[in-house]
Structure 1
Amino acid sequence: MSTEQTVLGMWRALSARDWDQVKTHLSPDCIYADMPVGPAAAARGPEDIVKRLKIGLEPLAGYQNHDGLLVADGPNVMYEHSETWTWVSGEVAVLRFVTVHEVVDDKLTLWKDYWDMSALAAFAPPNWLSDFATADMSWVYDATGQI
């Protein structure tokens, strides 16, 4: 499988919120980091990465990834895309991302999302951020110096 197919397959699974399928695209030591938050609040490994993703995406009424430009250079893939988040209360946000992946042996070993967190905060319902305060944070992995 090509690096492009691996990356797009994971994003199709994520768009469907098929958590088990997402895990199949991640190496056992894959690191995921939302770069606006930084590497100190990364997640590592399929189980913890999915725990992290579920915090933001599982409560949504709708979530969809929209394909964009994908550029691959060996194991490194840059993917410009957008996501539509729809909350149960009716708010909708379209978030623009650049994601950097590293793919080894058909598995993601690194996943870094670059996006504007203030854009999300501008469209999210008022309780969105406070809901994070009660979320399971057992997934936190400090990847400082690793990515």
Structure 2
Amino acid sequence: MSDDISTRLGRLSPEIQAIMGVYALYWKLEEAFDCVETDLSHLECHMLIKLDQPKRMGVLAADMLTVPSTITATADGLEKAGLLTRDRDPQDRRAWLLVLTEQGQEMRNMLVSVAGDLFHRASGLDADETAQFARLARKIRDNILKTGIPEGLTK
């Protein structure tokens, strides 16, 4: 039998094919992100990408599926590097907003661009397919959050 791997995998159920595709994409992107030259940790890069606008630390913790203490430690490192500042929230002066500096915004823009390029190379999807995949991935994420965050993401 000389079937190629794509043919063999095509005989599996759509659910199994989807799971295998998501795993393959995840590992390919992990490998590719490790090659991005930056002094930042994965968590610091993740925080910069999530800071598309000033956010309270609690909101950011929820967005990043992590605990507030992790946000505080990560923000400390980014603040020390000059990539963000803490400003009082004008809506509630007791709360703090994390705000990107100009240097932080430049780093975020670079990370978003690199991530997009890496995604397109790894996935092989065009712009329309990427938009469709993004819509489906948001639906999956929303369902997971609604039914309970996986234990591994809360530590």
Whether the TM-score (by the shorter chain) exceeds 0.5 is: no
Structure number with bigger Rg: 2
TM-score (norm 1): 0.28
TM-score normalised by the chain length of structure 2? 0.27
Q: Return the structure number with greater helix share.
A: 2
Which structure has greater strand proportion?
1
